[in-house]
Amino acid sequence: MSIEPTSPEGANLGAPAQVPSSPQKGMFGITGTGDVSGFGGLVRPRHEVVGTPKPYGGYFDEVTDALEEAYPGFADAIEKVVVDRDELTLHIVPERLAEVAQIMRDDESLRFELCSSVSGVDYLNSDARRLHVTYHLASMTYRRRVRLEVAVPVGGSVPTVTSVYPTADWQERETYDMFGVIFTGHPNLTRVLMPDDWEGHPQRKDYPLGGVPVEYKGAEIPPPDQRRVYQ
């Protein structure tokens, strides 16, 4: 079954999305004459994710070296290696994800037996590949953690890792449900948290939160995504 990407996702439901623009401008989420604070001209740039140069420190060097040794396609498959806040992230070419996961699990010196968590992040307005999927792997043998991250455009697909980590089944379904990332080869890629006939993918940044204004003691409080907020 081929699933064609539908767009714009969720734009036909409720209020228009209050999307933080990038680079983020202003401070209160409003533009024009409404802002009398003088902070309307503030610009907050989006930060690039840059690769970390070797040595990475800790066990990170051992992990990357072991993977490089065990996986001949390392140079092609790994886009960049990022070490931040004592966590190792391997950015991977989406098509190679399942291969890398297989080696991460099976290689003697890697042994990431448990796929702890799968989640998605929508980096709206970053570049075309705005949807990121992260896999948090844990090695019980060595007591280590590593994060695999892939980035795909809207309508893009990622090979499933369910054949390597069956536990990713529901978690990939959740990521599909919430972000619309298609996991090719997944045994049962259906919605898991939202109703089956739901339109759009709610965790995307251009999907509105929704809500209705509430009246309290005569004053009307707008729904949370339309309130004036500090950004």
Residues that bind other proteins (CB under 8 A): 4, 6, 20, 24, 44, 46-47, 84-85, 87, 89, 113-117, 119-122, 134, 136, 138, 140, 143, 145, 147, 165-171, 174, 191-197, 202-203, 209, 224-225, 229-231
- Which is closer to other proteins, CB of 50 or CB of 72? 50
Minimum distance from residue 205 beta carbon to other proteins (Å): 8
Minimum distance from residue 39 beta carbon to other proteins (Å): 11
- Which is closer to other proteins, CB of 93 or CB of 194? 194
Cis peptide before 8 (omega within 30 of 0): yes
Minimum distance from residue 47 beta carbon to other proteins (Å): 5
- Which is closer to other proteins, CB of 66 or CB of 161? 161
Which residues on adjacent β-strands are paired with residue 24?
44
* Ramachandran assignment for 35, one of left (phi > 0), alpha (psi -120 to 50 degrees), beta (any other): beta
Please answer whether residues 152 and 129 qualify as being in contact, where contact means their C-beta atoms are separated by less than 8 angstroms.
yes
- Which is closer to other proteins, CB of 69 or CB of 87? 87
Q: In what order do the strands lie in the sheet with 87-92?
A: 78-84, 87-92, 144-152, 131-139, 114-122
**Where do the H-state alpha helices sit in the chain?**
60-70, 74-77, 97-106, 168-179
- Which is closer to other proteins, CB of 69 or CB of 198? 198
Minimum distance from residue 188 beta carbon to other proteins (Å): 9
Angle between helical axes of 60-70 and 97-106 (0-180°, round to 10):
110
Which residues on adjacent β-strands are paired with residue 82?
89
Minimum distance from residue 91 beta carbon to other proteins (Å): 12
The CA distance from 51 to 57, in Å, is 14
Tokens 């109703």 belong to which residue?
A: 195
* Tokens representing residue 160 in the block: 């499933």
- Which is closer to other proteins, CB of 97 or CB of 161? 161
Minimum distance from residue 158 beta carbon to other proteins (Å): 16
